[in-house]
A and B are shown apart, each in its own frame.
Chain A
């Protein structure tokens, strides 16, 4: 007997009798018995398990949000209490994929509303109901560009998050897709002249990040103007910034993807977050992932169902647009609750405060001998030149309770000693000034 498994000895006997056998072992006659149990510990009671895991919890260091200046794709923002409470409802947590629409209207309506919110933020026409994370969403956007154009040459800005580019190479290699990276100029933006030179009639897509890994706001308008209209324009966007920055849809983006963790989700050691994936109606049949649509029931009442399923693996098998099945629906719920709570004003205020904090911090660092490396306009992250010894200092800051700007010169060797500084609305005047003091010491 176990608290998760309800069978009594008597019931087991009755059930075996109903089946017409005498022992449990008879149910496994086809199975070659290769082991006699596992070489793992026996189960423990709840009290002991809790103690064991709490021991591991204590081996981590947790930072006060105001002392976190590390971003690089995962951001610490204030999460209203109501978000966690509403997302904890077991009818969300323990529900399956909405295969039976009539008893999944909560899930389906929530995802439909989530899709609407992502369309509003990105300025795009269609959103799917989630991908695994920003990196895999980006990788899938390149596969989709090949489906749209029939071409395999991708021009990808070197200022897209390095892990996103690694994942993209892993995903695209078997399809014979060739990724060429486009360098950045001294502003930290994509090198437009180089980009123009690289485009030819084999180019399937151009991909940039907005804001990019250096925190720089790319000029989407001049990039779109530089590329032919039949080349797919992919934008990897940071969703909080979109409350302040013009929507990529306004500049003629074909696909806008990104990581949605910053919309109400805790950092979670990087997972789960959520990949969002948006596009234009004309491309929707090439899109990966589940899409929820509005419909009516047989009495004319409004309802929601999964639509365009003939793109998906369970119908189309090897001809599907993607193999994705399980996605990150629960994280879409968190995004939707967060965006409902913050509204357009709240999100804009978060974006503006992040922007302003980062700009204040940049100015202070510069005054203290740590200048920015690029002169392009930035949102809430920027790269500073640091002394050789900074990496050691980065580790030492932990003692002061600071999770400092991450050194990035191992990934971008050509930059020399440098760090990516991040600030959001959770940093305070005191914590910012303390960071400046510690960094310039």
Chain B
């Protein structure tokens, strides 16, 4: 039942203190005064408590169980991060600078730590999400080429066909023409294909490394050299940074622009879709174009620098999703140097353990040592049994698990993309393997059972075709 149906006219859930000021006359013209009250719920405090508790019970979450969504890095979100963030919530962004020194210091130090982790020279923390970071990075590239007088000719952004959908969407928003690169037979960038597209009309090459198949682009140093020979910039999509910490850095591989997802690698919660935080690190030659303000250390103190004549401007208000930054900062202090390497080591170990176990039944696309994730190619099995990837995903819900990412990357048909993360134990992985084995057998013996899934969830399979065809946008 919706909260609107629980509403009773005249009931209330709030209380304000007695009002002590004299009533001033209202001088607003009649036509600007609201006539009809908005139909918001009228409920008691307990009604609010019951309603939102009931909704929460209908959700799956990391705190409830395994969440192997590929490319999403659904790791445990430490509780101390939340506590530390709650200490900073009552700061107004426009308070006098001298009254937010602790917050500015935190952002400055976080930036330095992230520059070290990414191997970049400067950084903005302003972007509110990964895709927002991509847009920011590409706008920086655009400003750089404009400054060099090359924007007229450099119109293209090269994006592999295995890339996240946000990559081409961000490139288009930044005014570039998107050219798709076909992956090679090994799932990686095909150097010949790259060479065929690479000339001085290319502004940026966007790569995720490891890529969305969970494979490390082993030719990355060659790719970087080629890109730079043609004057193009290399962009790093940081969605998969959780695989390589402590061993290499995007900046060392030759990337010029690097985005991070603090809500993936750095353990901040996803909150049903956001807020995230998508900092952008850049090499020195791109620093003049960063959005303002940039946080800098002057003598012993961090300060906000708005004086960047070549800045792209701002991509949102103020400093970014600051509260998310506090959580990521807490995490980095907690894990430290060796801890972050251990994170990647165990994330990659977990993925390979699952890959080894599941490869006994399912076909792995590009079956070799993977990084933090891997992809099952379910096409043949689907043909044989009629049980599609979507059915397997829904059946996993019946086993009390969340489904992996499905139908992505697009280059693998019927893809099932699995990222376990480092915070899951061997026992949890074994439970997942067991469920996948059961579903495999069910698909062979009782395919209709799998195709009808899920059975045990708060609702059964939902009709999303008609939901879009005859949309109901709001409660009426």
| Contact among A58, A174, A294 for B174, CB-based, below 8 A | A174
A243–B40 Cα gap in the complex (Å)? Answer: 10
Q: Chain A residue with minimal CB distance to B63?
A: A90
A232–B243 Cα gap in the complex (Å)? Answer: 46
- Complex interface: chain A residues within 8 A of B317 (CB): 73, 133-135, 161, 163-164, 167, 259, 270-271, 273
- Complex interface: chain B residues within 8 A of A220 (CB): 32
Nearest Cβ in chain A — how far from B28, in angstroms? 5
A277–B108 Cα gap in the complex (Å)? Answer: 32
- Complex interface: chain B residues within 8 A of A403 (CB): 92, 95
- Complex interface: chain B residues within 8 A of A113 (CB): 2-4, 475
Q: Are B346 and A96 in contact (CB under 8 A)?
A: no
Q: Chain A residue with minimal CB distance to B102?
A: A59
Q: Are A115 and B353 in contact (CB under 8 A)?
A: no
**A341-375 to B contact mask, C-beta < 8 Å, 1/0:** 11111111110010111011001000000000000
Q: Are B91 and A62 in contact (CB under 8 A)?
A: yes
Q: Chain A residue with minimal CB distance to B142?
A: A174
Q: Are A294 and B467 in contact (CB under 8 A)?
A: yes
A127–B473 Cα gap in the complex (Å)? Answer: 8
Q: Are A91 and B59 in contact (CB under 8 A)?
A: yes
Q: Are A70 and B166 in contact (CB under 8 A)?
A: no
Q: Are B130 and A326 in contact (CB under 8 A)?
A: yes
Is B235's beta carbon under 8 Å from chain A? Answer: no
Nearest Cβ in chain A — how far from B22, in angstroms? 7
| Contact among B16, B342, B463 for A298, CB-based, below 8 A | B463
- Complex interface: chain B residues within 8 A of A170 (CB): 139, 291, 312-315
Q: Are B460 and A297 in contact (CB under 8 A)?
A: yes
- Complex interface: chain A residues within 8 A of B431 (CB): none
Nearest Cβ in chain A — how far from B352, in angstroms? 5
Is A267's beta carbon under 8 Å from chain B? Answer: yes
**B110-154 to A contact mask, C-beta < 8 Å, 1/0:** 000100110100000000111110110001001000000000000
A11–B90 Cα gap in the complex (Å)? Answer: 45
Question: Which residues of A from 61 to 80 have beta carbons under 8 Å from B?
Answer: 61-63, 68, 70, 72-74, 76, 78, 80
A269–B126 Cα gap in the complex (Å)? Answer: 12
Which of A29, A86, A331, A429 is packed against the most chain B CB atoms within 10 Å?
A: A86
Q: Are A270 and B318 in contact (CB under 8 A)?
A: yes
Q: Are B321 and A119 in contact (CB under 8 A)?
A: no
Q: Are A136 and B316 in contact (CB under 8 A)?
A: yes
Q: Are B96 and A318 in contact (CB under 8 A)?
A: no
**B33-63 to A contact mask, C-beta < 8 Å, 1/0:** 1110111111101011101111111111111
Q: Chain B residue with minimal CB distance to A123?
A: B38
A398–B45 Cα gap in the complex (Å)? Answer: 36
Is B462's beta carbon under 8 Å from chain A? Answer: yes
A302–B333 Cα gap in the complex (Å)? Answer: 46
Is A95's beta carbon under 8 Å from chain B? Answer: yes
Question: Which residues of B from 62 to 80 have beta carbons under 8 Å from A?
Answer: 62-64, 67, 69, 72, 74-78, 80
Is B205's beta carbon under 8 Å from chain A? Answer: no
Nearest Cβ in chain B — how far from A243, in angstroms? 7
| Contact among A5, A20, A91 for B423, CB-based, below 8 A | A5
**A66-108 to B contact mask, C-beta < 8 Å, 1/0:** 0010101110101010100111111111111111111111110
- Chain B residues within 8 Å of chain A by Cβ, number: 199
Q: Are B459 and A43 in contact (CB under 8 A)?
A: no
Nearest Cβ in chain A — how far from B277, in angstroms? 9
| Contact among B21, B29, B69, B468 for A377, CB-based, below 8 A | B29
Is B216's beta carbon under 8 Å from chain A? Answer: yes
Nearest Cβ in chain B — how far from A145, in angstroms? 15
| Contact among A18, A82, A322, A355 for B353, CB-based, below 8 A | A18
**A106-127 to B contact mask, C-beta < 8 Å, 1/0:** 1101111101110111000111
Q: Are A356 and B94 in contact (CB under 8 A)?
A: no
Selected interface stretch from B226-234, B267-275, B436-444: B267-275
- Complex interface: chain A residues within 8 A of B355 (CB): 19
Supposing A92-B59, A132-B132, A345-B42 touch, asked if A295 and B105 sit within 8 A by C-beta, the answer is no
Is B402's beta carbon under 8 Å from chain A? Answer: yes
Q: Are A298 and B460 in contact (CB under 8 A)?
A: yes
A43–B319 Cα gap in the complex (Å)? Answer: 26
Is A383's beta carbon under 8 Å from chain B? Answer: no
Q: Are B38 and A344 in contact (CB under 8 A)?
A: yes
| Contact among B100, B315, B461, B464 for A136, CB-based, below 8 A | B315
A16–B426 Cα gap in the complex (Å)? Answer: 12
- Complex interface: chain B residues within 8 A of A70 (CB): 92, 94-95
| Contact among A24, A78, A259, A326 for B263, CB-based, below 8 A | A326
Q: Chain B residue with minimal CB distance to A28?
A: B247
- Complex interface: chain B residues within 8 A of A68 (CB): 92
Is A299's beta carbon under 8 Å from chain B? Answer: yes
Q: Are B322 and A271 in contact (CB under 8 A)?
A: yes
| Contact among A34, A127, A298 for B461, CB-based, below 8 A | A298
Supposing A35-B252, A96-B72 touch, asked if A357 and B269 sit within 8 A by C-beta, the answer is no
Q: Are A2 and B40 in contact (CB under 8 A)?
A: no
Question: Which residues of A from 412 to 441 have beta carbons under 8 Å from B?
Answer: 425, 428-429, 432
Which of A80, A268, A356 is packed against the most chain B CB atoms within 10 Å?
A: A268
Q: Chain A residue with minimal CB distance to B26?
A: A355
Nearest Cβ in chain B — how far from A247, in angstroms? 7
Is A229's beta carbon under 8 Å from chain B? Answer: no
Nearest Cβ in chain A — how far from B356, in angstroms? 5
A266–B60 Cα gap in the complex (Å)? Answer: 26
Question: Which residues of B from 138 to 192 have beta carbons under 8 Å from A?
Answer: 139, 142, 164-166, 168-176, 178
Q: Are A132 and B128 in contact (CB under 8 A)?
A: yes
**A247-278 to B contact mask, C-beta < 8 Å, 1/0:** 10000000000010000001111111100000
Q: Chain A residue with minimal CB distance to B460?
A: A297
**A269-295 to B contact mask, C-beta < 8 Å, 1/0:** 111110000000100100000110111
Q: Are A95 and B321 in contact (CB under 8 A)?
A: no
A318–B146 Cα gap in the complex (Å)? Answer: 22
| Contact among A143, A167, A298, A363 for B316, CB-based, below 8 A | A167
Which of A15, A78, A143 is packed against the most chain B CB atoms within 10 Å?
A: A15
Supposing A34-B252, A343-B12, A344-B40 touch, asked if A60 and B220 sit within 8 A by C-beta, the answer is no
Is A219's beta carbon under 8 Å from chain B? Answer: yes
Is B343's beta carbon under 8 Å from chain A? Answer: yes
Known: A314-B408, A345-B42. 11 other contacts (CB 8 A): A33-B247, A39-B116, A50-B80, A93-B271, A95-B271, A96-B72, A115-B474, A270-B318, A297-B459, A323-B131, A340-B51
20 contacts between A and B (CB under 8 A): A31-B244, A42-B337, A56-B105, A82-B49, A92-B59, A95-B62, A170-B291, A244-B33, A267-B90, A271-B275, A307-B467, A307-B471, A312-B165, A323-B166, A327-B274, A333-B271, A337-B52, A343-B14, A377-B32, A403-B92
